[in-house]
């Protein structure tokens, strides 16, 4: 960094994710699953299905970069009824996962990722997007509600949320 550049400069860029990002997605999945505890040696746990064999039809990811370094990711994938994700609604509704590295949270990166991913999902023509979130994860639930996700079911541990992605109908101009 040059001397005349402010130390706090933060330039968040969101780009499409690809096969080269699978390792980072796996790390982010770990953060998403162990959102309230540190579990440095554990793998992604039972949520590994959200990244396993990445590259299936429909798999879509966006990556946030801060001065070139990946600091967060959001992605979605479709599941079969026989092998559903935890927030499975139907086979046409992709399930979303998201996490931002701990020291970059609270700066709008999660919002930027959600914006970009919802835009992608709309562009791909998906009518809905779902997710599963720990019912104690109030911060994430608040964020999802802000982006139009609504609770559709819950059990003792988690909540399934669904967003309707139908694009706004353009009002005719007079």
Ligand X SMILES: CC(C)(COP(=O)(O)OP(=O)(O)OC[C@H]1O[C@@H](n2cnc3c(N)ncnc32)[C@H](O)[C@@H]1OP(=O)(O)O)[C@@H](O)C(=O)NCCC(=O)NCCS
Interface residues toward ligand X, by CB under 6 A: 31-32, 35, 98-100, 105-111, 131, 133, 137, 139-140, 142-143
b/e per residue, 76-115, with b = 16+ CB within 10 A? Answer: bbbbeeeeebbbbbeeebbbbbbbbbeebeebebbebbbe
- Shortest distance in whole angstroms from residue 76 CB to ligand X: 12
Closer CB to ligand X, 47 or 78, in the complex: 47
- Shortest distance in whole angstroms from residue 68 CB to ligand X: 18
- Shortest distance in whole angstroms from residue 168 CB to ligand X: 23
Instruction: Strands of the chain (E only): list them.
Output: 12-16, 60-66, 69-77, 95-100, 128-134, 150-154, 158-164
Closer CB to ligand X, 2 or 9, in the complex: 9
Q: What tokens does 104 get?
A: 């970059």
Closer CB to ligand X, 31 or 78, in the complex: 31
Pick from 28, 102, 106, 90: which is nearest to 61 by CA?
28
Closer CB to ligand X, 54 or 110, in the complex: 110
b/e per residue, 22-44, with b = 16+ CB within 10 A? Answer: bebbbbbbbbbbbeeeeeeeeeb
- Shortest distance in whole angstroms from residue 137 CB to ligand X: 5
* DSSP β-bridge partners for residue 14: 64
- Shortest distance in whole angstroms from residue 39 CB to ligand X: 13
Q: What tokens does 18 get?
A: 């690809």
Closer CB to ligand X, 110 or 165, in the complex: 110
């Amino acid at each position: 960094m040059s001397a005349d550049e402010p130390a706090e400069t933060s330039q968040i860029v969101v780009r499409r994710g690809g096969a080269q990002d699978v390792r980072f997605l796996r790390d982010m999945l770990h953060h998403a699953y162990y959102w309230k505890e540190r579990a440095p040696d554990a793998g992604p746990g039972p949520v590994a299905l959200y990244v396993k064999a990445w590259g299936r039809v429909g798999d879509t990811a966006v990556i946030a970069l801060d001065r070139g370094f990946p600091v967060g990711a959001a992605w979605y994938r479709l599941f079969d009824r026989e092998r559903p994700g935890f927030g499975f609604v139907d086979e046409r509704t992709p399930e979303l996962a998201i996490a931002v590295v701990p020291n970059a949270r609270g700066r709008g990166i999660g919002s930027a990722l959600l914006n970009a991913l919802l835009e992608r999902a709309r562009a791909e023509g998906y009518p809905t997007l779902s997710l599963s979130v720990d019912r104690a994860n109030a911060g994430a639930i608040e964020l999802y509600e802000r982006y139009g996700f609504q609770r559709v079911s819950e059990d003792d541990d988690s909540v399934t949320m669904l967003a309707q992605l139908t694009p706004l109908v353009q009002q005719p101009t007079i």
